[in-house]
Amino acid sequence: MLKNALLGFLNYSPMTGYALKQQMDGSTSHFWHAKLSQIYSTLKVLEEDGMISSIIEEQETRPDRRVYSITESGQQQLCVWLNEPLTETGSTKSLLLLKLFFSAQLDKKAIVTQLRLQRQLHEQGMIFYQTETKALIAGIVKQHKGMKKDALFWEATRRFGELCEETYVRWLDETIQIMEEKL
Amino acid sequence: MLKNALLGFLNYSPMTGYALKQQMDGSTSHFWHAKLSQIYSTLKVLEEDGMISSIIEEQETRPDRRVYSITESGQQQLCVWLNEPLTETGSTKSLLLLKLFFSAQLDKKAIVTQLRLQRQLHEQGMIFYQTETKALIAGIVKQHKGMKKDALFWEATRRFGELCEETYVRWLDETIQIMEEKL
DNA sequence: ATTATCATGTAAAAGGTTACATGATTTG
DNA sequence: CAAATCATGTAACCTTTTACATGATAAT
């Protein structure tokens, strides 16, 4: 699905692989992310498939850049994908939960330390969504008034991130208390 | 990490690959899952590495089964893994969120239909954790009183699943309302 | 001076999914 | 009689991560 994510971003405007990475990190990273190496190789495949096209821009002070643009086929493909209904819920993988599931043999101290560290990290995440991510969206809307409709959807995903982190913090507090009482 | 998950289950008791799949489906599936084919091939690697050993049990009415047991090396490895601290939060991938992020070009009806379907699925998930998963854990504790400590950890992961589904339902209700008002 | 940023890629390995292949027994 | 369950595996393919490789400029 990285293919579709890249098409989605290139549908906003032409960009380099490097810029696509930054866009993802700044917007979808809490529900979709990729390494630069994967982005570059996926862009290559997308171009071979005619979904995007690229031109090399020479720069004086910076290295040459390959700027990708979405083609008509690409826009069509993006549209098809967006219209496909999702009939299942996504399946997650969480190392924290997996470890915790098997942690009966660990001592109380190690468990509580682990949980407290996670609590801190998720609290930071929550604050990040409430401030920086929110400001980022507001900033784009201010610059590009035509993006107001898009921003409604970005805000929905931001809000989900915020609620998830809130849930994590709540659950971790609850779990730390139980572990301290009953272990 | 599937390797460690399998070691975790085999540390409870010896089992076949088929049974491991069932155990995972019934307990860790909301934060860790695997296909049978991957389980079989991973068990092969674990045995080559001396983490587990297997014997073939012949059965009369059923196909022969290969029963795996954890070795001392395996228990050691499991213990090492459990003690490694997690200094990061896990990164998720969600198709629903990814699609929603780029959905400004879809029409209102398609979006709301999609969100309503997801709401229904997550409500079902929530109820599942509150009833069936809860009953499953209680059942094991009744049968094996020695598992009471383990059950504390299983319950913590179950509770997380429940809270996550609750969050999903809340967020979906909120988002459906916004889409109906502002789109 | 050193670190961060800009900028692009390749190659190998690990992780994971889908499809193929088999076949008896039990349940509805 | 059909479908589900028990039971095991292989092979091809796709996705993702990690490591390697390079090199200039801008900021601290």
Query: Nearest Cα to A94, choosing from A16, A19, A167, A5?
Result: A167
The pLDDT of residue A63 is: 74
Q: In angstroms, how far is CA B38 from the centroid of its own chain?
A: 15
Residue B120 CB closer than 7 angstroms to strand D?
no
The pLDDT of residue A55 is: 95
Q: What is the pLDDT of residues A108-144, one digit of tens each?
A: 999 999 999 999 999 999 999 999 999 999 999 999 9
Residue B37 CB closer than 7 angstroms to strand C?
yes
Shortest CB distance from A95 goes to which of B86, B167, B182? Answer: B86
Contact status of B4 with chain A (Cβ, < 8 Å):
yes
B97: chain A residues, CB-CB within 8 Å: 28, 31-32, 157, 160
Total CB pairs under 8 A between chain A and B:
185
- All residue ranges of chain A with pLDDT < 70 are none
The pLDDT of residue B62 is: 74
Paired strand residues for A67? A55
The pLDDT of residue B63 is: 75
Residue B38 CB closer than 7 angstroms to strand C?
yes
pLDDT interval class at B60 (50, 70, 90): confident
Q: Which nucleotide is nearest to B40 (CA to C1')?
A: D9
Paired strand residues for A56? A66
Inter-residue contact A157 to A31 (CB < 8 Å): yes
Q: Which nucleotide is nearest to B18 (CA to C1')?
A: D7
Q: What is the pLDDT of residues B77-109, one digit of tens each?
A: 999 999 999 999 988 999 999 999 999 999 999
Q: What is the pLDDT of residues B6-47, one digit of tens each?
A: 999 999 999 999 999 999 999 999 999 999 999 999 999 999
Provide residues 23-82 of A with CB closer than 7 Å to any strand D atom. 33-35, 37-38, 41, 61-63
Q: Which nucleotide is nearest to A40 (CA to C1')?
A: C9
Distance CA A155, CA A137 (A): 7
- What's the average model confidence in pLDDT over B35-64? 92
Contact status of B27 with chain A (Cβ, < 8 Å):
yes
Contact status of A146 with chain B (Cβ, < 8 Å):
no
The pLDDT of residue B130 is: 95
Paired strand residues for B54? B68
The pLDDT of residue B58 is: 82
Q: What is the pLDDT of residues B107-145, one digit of tens each?
A: 999 999 999 999 999 999 999 999 999 999 999 999 899
Is residue B59 predicted with pLDDT exceeding 90? no
Three-state DSSP class for residue A70: strand
